Amino acid sequence: MAASLDGKVAIVTGAGKGIGRAVAEAYGAAGATVVVSDLDGAAAEAVATGIDGATANTCDVTDEGQVKALIDGTVDTHGGLHVLVPNAGIARVQPLLEKSLEDWRAVMSVNLDGVFLCTRHGAPAIIASGGGAIVNICSITAFAGSPLVGDYAAAKAGVLSLTKTTAVELRDHGVRANAICPGFIDTDLVTANAEKFESALGLPAGGFDEVIAQKQGRYGNVEEVASLAVFLASERSSFSTGSAFVLDGGADASLL
């Protein structure tokens, strides 16, 4: 049986490490030609080197000119675009009342504006290539109040809303759009912030890991997110669009 993404061209942003890297690698293994894009060009290069046929790209997703260049460059180099994964994201861990407008805007800019810019410039290229899929990397924080990352959660709620509008507006153009909503996944985004969570929540050292173990059993791993991202990019999910796919070890299933 042919790999599920044979003949597809895919862009993954923020793919220099973490979830984006795992998605890029899984797409390559599934037969796609992958553009590994990141703000950190050296990290993108290192990841692309390990994926057959992949190319690396340096792009800040908050910069419209750079996003447009990413899309145009992909079409020029690889002949089209079928799958787009706006994955780049950041978090700043602070109580709401300590956040500055600058902090708020920085998080909104990467996590929400970045998805809009990728969609705005990427979707026309997908349509011109005969259709495809947008797989937004959202979060379970889109559904609930999220202490210390209120800006991040608001941005992710925006990503979920944007995913639904994208799905509805583009359905007749052959573009599906879905949102993956992971719980806590073992990446630098989480581990680098664990001590800040512990200090702000009054937890002892290691207490954050215990909260995660209680809520979702364990951290998710990046391959588990990538596996769902392959499904949502492929024709195997052909009737799925406008949906949120939660991946959280059951955290959302329990009040306690």
- Exposed/middle/buried for residue 102 (C-beta within 10 Å: 0-12, 13-18, 19+): exposed
Least distance in Å: CB of 160 to ligand NAD?
12
Nearer to ligand NAD (CB atom), residue 133 or residue 153: 153
Least distance in Å: CB of 61 to ligand NAD?
4
Residue from 18, 74, 84, 152 carrying the catalytic annotation: 152
Nearer to ligand NAD (CB atom), residue 63 or residue 127: 63
Nearer to ligand NAD (CB atom), residue 3 or residue 94: 94
Of 32, 81, 76, 34, residue with least CA distance to 56: 34
Least distance in Å: CB of 128 to ligand NAD?
24
DSSP secondary structure string, 151-182?
HHHHHHHHHHHHHHHHHHHHGGGTEEEEEEEE
Least distance in Å: CB of 193 to ligand NAD?
10
Nearer to ligand NAD (CB atom), residue 58 or residue 127: 58
Q: Is 152 a catalytic residue?
A: yes
Going from the C-alpha of 164 to that of each of 14, 40, 114, 212, the distances in angstroms are: 22, 30, 16, 29
Applying CB under 6 A, the residues found at the interface with ligand NAD are 13-14, 16-20, 38-40, 43, 59-62, 87-90, 110, 137, 139, 182, 184-185, 187-190
Q: What share of the chain is helix, strand, coil (3-state, %, to 5)?
A: 50, 15, 35
The catalytic residues are 152
